[in-house]
Amino acid sequence: MLEHQNIKPEPITKDDASWFQPLFKVCFDREELWSQHLGDNKYEAFHIDKQAFIFIYTVEDCTDLLTLGVHPAQRKKGFATALLKWVITKAPKAQRFFLDVECQNIAAIQLYKKIGFEFVSIRKRYYPQFSGPALDAFVMTYQKPLKTLS
Ligand SMILES: CC(C)(COP(=O)(O)OP(=O)(O)OC[C@H]1O[C@@H](n2cnc3c(N)ncnc32)[C@H](O)[C@@H]1OP(=O)(O)O)[C@@H](O)C(=O)NCCC(=O)NCCS
């Protein structure tokens, strides 16, 4: 297991596309579209050891968690937990976090629940599939605990 306290994810830049593209493909088993956003100032992307990545989008005090993946050989070691905890604790302005997760993605749903995310709604038929009907998405949110005033 990773020691979360000692981890400092690094930014992913457009120069990282050569390792990021195959990492995304092996994580999601499909081509990625995210490289075009590397370094565009809209989204922020971070990685740990080129084995795990996250894309986020922050407006004011709300952060959307856009995509998150861990290399299959490195799963269940705490990489995703480390990335999420780091984003939640280090994102300076963000107080509230939102994400969409495919309703059948048990690993991701368990991960988000363990971090403290809660279900807020369902987006019906949100994720198209190559065959079969589109899958629903759960919308989940996490609110940073309010700082106690001293
Ligand atoms: C979902 C994913 C990011 C989890 O990454 P990870 O680094 O393996 O997760 P962690 O090791 O931090 O696991 C933390 C918790 O998540 C849950 N979890 C992780 N993998 C799980 C699995 N296969 N089945 C059930 N729960 C799982 C567990 O609650 C786990 O805690 P535990 O180890 O005490 O049981 C990874 O499986 C992945 O990349 N999947 C493919 C891409 C994807 O679905 N991304 C999310 C899109 S919303």
Mutate to test the pocket of ligand 1, among 75, 83, 123 (most ligand atoms within 8 A of CB): 75
Structural class in CATH, domain 4-143: alpha beta
Domain boundaries, the chain: 4-143
First-residue to last-residue Cα distance in the chain: 35
141: number of Cβ within 10 Å: 16
Ligand 1 near 77 CB (within 6 A) = yes
Q: How far is the centre of ligand 1, averaged over its atoms, from the C-alpha of 135 (Å)?
A: 19
Output the pTM of the full model.
0.94
Q: How far is the centre of ligand 1, averaged over its atoms, from the C-alpha of 108 (Å)?
A: 5
Q: How far is the centre of ligand 1, averaged over its atoms, from the C-alpha of 134 (Å)?
A: 22
pLDDT in tens, the chain (150 residues): 676 667 889 999 999 999 999 999 999 998 878 888 888 888 999 999 999 999 999 999 999 999 999 999 999 999 999 999 999 988 767 899 999 999 999 999 999 999 999 999 999 999 998 889 999 999 999 998 876 555
